[in-house]
Amino acid sequence: MELDITIIEKLKGLLSEITLLKKRISLFAVIQREDTDTWDLVVGGDNLRTKENLDLIIKITKKIFEQDEIIRFPRLILLNSDHPFLNSINRAFAVEGGTVKIKNTRIDNIFLKNAYLFYSKNLGYPTKKEKYEVEEKNVKIKDTATSSTTQISIDIGDKY
């Protein structure tokens, strides 16, 4: 199930309202996993995973979306800055002031059937030197300081 333009614009409005109140947001995305037709609303940032923040984001969401629209997003996931998925997606994508659509992608062993990234940014923490390897549809990000590797599979369509 795709998201229509009205929902996408409301999600952008939700991001704007959240960032007014919570300055250290590093990820705002909706993700459709392979096992469902619904979408997860994912918000990441500094010390974000608290009951207070959960209640605040739910309140703002209810203000922006109609009840029949909210049911498309049955899960709200808050991730702190140190979460591995958050770090992997922020290393792979930088999104500010736009929208990136991702299809059929695996990030940290989580398969994303569809995803819309509205905001994805490293918050300025020291970054480690990384090496990127591209093998057809797979991108491997290797942290040379720790020798850990993150593999991201991207549906790039036809080869050029």
Class of the CATH domain delimited by 5-126: alpha beta
* CB neighbour burial string for 145-158, b if at least 16 within 10 angstroms, e if fewer: eeeeebbbebeeee
Residue 155's closest CA among 4, 11, 34? Answer: 34
- Give Cβ neighbours of residue 34 (< 8 Å, ≥ 6 apart): 111, 112, 113
Structure token digits, residue 112: 């994303």
pLDDT tens across the length of the chain (160 residues): 688 999 999 999 999 999 988 778 999 999 998 888 899 999 999 888 999 999 999 999 999 999 999 999 999 999 999 999 999 999 888 898 889 999 999 888 888 999 999 999 886 554 444 444 444 455 555 555 555 555 554 443 333 2
**pLDDT value of position 154:** 47
DSSP assigned state of 98: S
**pLDDT value of position 17:** 94
- The model carries a pTM of 0.76
The Cα 142–Cα 36 span in angstroms is 31
